Structure 1
Amino acid sequence: MSGMDDMQVFLTYGDIALASSLIVIVLIVSWKLRLQLTKTLLIAAIRTVVQLSFIGLILAWIFAREQWYEVLLILTIMTLIAGSAAKNRVKRTYKGLLTDTLLAVSASAVLVTAIAIVMILKVQPWYTPQFIIPILGLILGNSLTAISLTSNQLIETFHEQQGRIEMMLSLAARPFEAVHEPIRTAIVNGMTPTLNSMLVVGIVSLPGMMTGQILAGADPTQAVRYQIITMFLICVSSTLGCTISALLIYRRFFNKKKQLILPQ
């Protein structure tokens, strides 16, 4: 017998151990070139195995039960961790940054995920874990990167261009007019990784979701359709997240008198 439908590879712990041993190559390169990444690489490799193994057990349990409140709890935890991760990637922080990143991440990712589940995929019931959990996870992972890039650049720019912004305000410019260019640049910077991925997808790279489906034996045409949908979802979510984040930061840096302030 032959054909794609008959070809399915089941991975064992031995296969995982063999793949893990390839990290030795990376460690040797780090040691030879004195990259000082040995400790970080080891920690990252160990965390990858532990975290994915742990989440695999949890998802297997949740998939078997399909209880809406358990799925909702997982989604909430994922969103909170994503917001915290986005905040931790910002170098120059301020009081309230965590709240802002959480709002940006949750508002964009949850809205886009809801549209995907209810209107595009038409999943019944909406809390079917095999759909909503991976889709939200995929969107969160990309959104938090975009949001952190936007936040990081915008905050740095407000500090670096304080004099220019205050000069424009003194010349009767409205607050948003004075910072429109930094906001635009920061949002574009946050969107760049997503746009770059969209420009080369299918030509230079095969995304992880599509590759995973094909390796699992799915029809390539269906895998492509799912990938197209997820790429658009990621693009919309990242755009919304970057925009919301920029506007929340803008609000923090101006008081009611329309004066520029640098929050501590």
Structure 2
Amino acid sequence: MSGDLGNSYNIDIWGLLIALGMVAVAAIISELMHMGIGKTLMWSSCRALVQLCAMGFIIGYVIRSNNVWMVFSLMAVMLVAAVQIVMSRARGIPKGLAGPIFLSLVITMLLMLALVTELIVRPHPWYAPQLVVPLTGMLLGNTVSALAVGLSRFYESMEERRDEVDMMLALGATAWESARPSIISSIRLGLLPTTASLASSGIVTIPGMMAGQVIAGGDPLNAAKYQFVVFGAIAALTLLADGLIMAMVYRTCFTTDDQYQTPKAR
């Protein structure tokens, strides 16, 4: 098959096996070097292959059905899974944050999806599965990492600044004013991967969504436009989600009398 614009290149079972074989070679090399990550690398790759293929079948079925309730049901499952991933990745966070994390993801995700679908892409129908489902996955994938990093950094920073926080509280500062430097630090850290991707896209790298559309036979310029829209949505969603979750959880570092609360007491 030629590489003319509009053609797509399908991957057969042998292609998947070869790709898995490349990972196996890397895993073997890591074992020979006693790096201790060979089994984890191989297991993660096999799990990713199964999960991606399963999601491919599910998305295909949802697109063919073109049913709004199936679209929202799949989004709900993805949101619940995202909350679990954030809770498992974030370090040093108190228990009971699943509710605030879920709420922040739902609010910000629905807002970003509404803006992208209704003001930018304007698909017909408005819940077009081939747009909404992949977009939800891309937005959640980046936001989950940002939230996990941001939450970990916030509680770590609050503990590092314990004496400073106590001094600020003693001088009459509110809990919010005392926690604000840690909140800003956590949001900045969560945004770093997104800003780095924005800075290098188109010069150093061709991002995944754009590359995927081009390989599938899409117009490169249109693929670039979609990629920029996704990056813009990710940046806005990350900032909003991080800011919202911090506004909901910063009080966990303080008692009802606005005194700093140690991690064991939370």
Under a length normalisation based on structure 2, what TM-score does the superposition of the two structures give? Answer: 0.94
Which stretches of structure 1, 4 residues or more, deviate above 4 A after TM superposition? none
User: Contact between 1:84 and 1:101, CA under 8 Å: does it hold in 2?
Assistant: no
| AA at the equivalent of 1:70 | M
The count of aligned residue pairs is 264
Q: Which runs of 5+ in 2 are unaligned?
A: none
| AA at the equivalent of 1:14 | W
Mean Cα displacement is larger for which, 243-252 or 138-147?
243-252
Distance 1:64 1:6, change over 3 A: closer
Residue number in structure 2 paired with 1:82: 82
Kindly indicate whether residue 126 of structure 2 is the aligned counterpart of residue 104 of structure 1. Answer: no
C-alpha RMSD of matched pairs (Å): 1.6
Residue number in structure 1 paired with 2:145: 145
Residue number in structure 2 paired with 1:207: 207
| AA at the equivalent of 2:258 | K
Q: Is the partner of 2:76 in helix, strand or coil?
A: helix
Kindly indicate whether residue 221 of structure 2 is the aligned counterpart of residue 229 of structure 1. Answer: no
Residue number in structure 1 paired with 2:165: 165
User: Contact between 1:143 and 1:237, CA under 8 Å: does it hold in 2?
Assistant: yes
| AA at the equivalent of 1:80 | V
Distance 1:6 1:180, change over 3 A: closer
Residue number in structure 1 paired with 2:244: 244
Residue number in structure 1 paired with 2:60: 60
- 1-side partners of 2:177 and 2:155: how far apart? 17
Q: Which runs of 5+ in 1 are unaligned?
A: none
Under a length normalisation based on structure 1, what TM-score does the superposition of the two structures give? Answer: 0.94
- 2-side partners of 1:223 and 1:23: how far apart? 29
Shift, 1:3, TM fit: 6.0
- 2-side partners of 1:254 and 1:4: how far apart? 62
- 1-side partners of 2:5 and 2:163: how far apart? 65
User: Contact between 1:86 and 1:145, CA under 8 Å: does it hold in 2?
Assistant: yes
Percent identity over paired residues:
28
- 1-side partners of 2:82 and 2:247: how far apart? 19
- 2-side partners of 1:222 and 1:7: how far apart? 15
Residue number in structure 1 paired with 2:50: 50
Mean Cα displacement is larger for which, 81-90 or 210-219?
81-90
User: Contact between 2:100 and 2:248, CA under 8 Å: does it hold in 1?
Assistant: yes
Mean Cα displacement is larger for which, 242-251 or 131-140?
242-251
Residue number in structure 2 paired with 1:9: 9
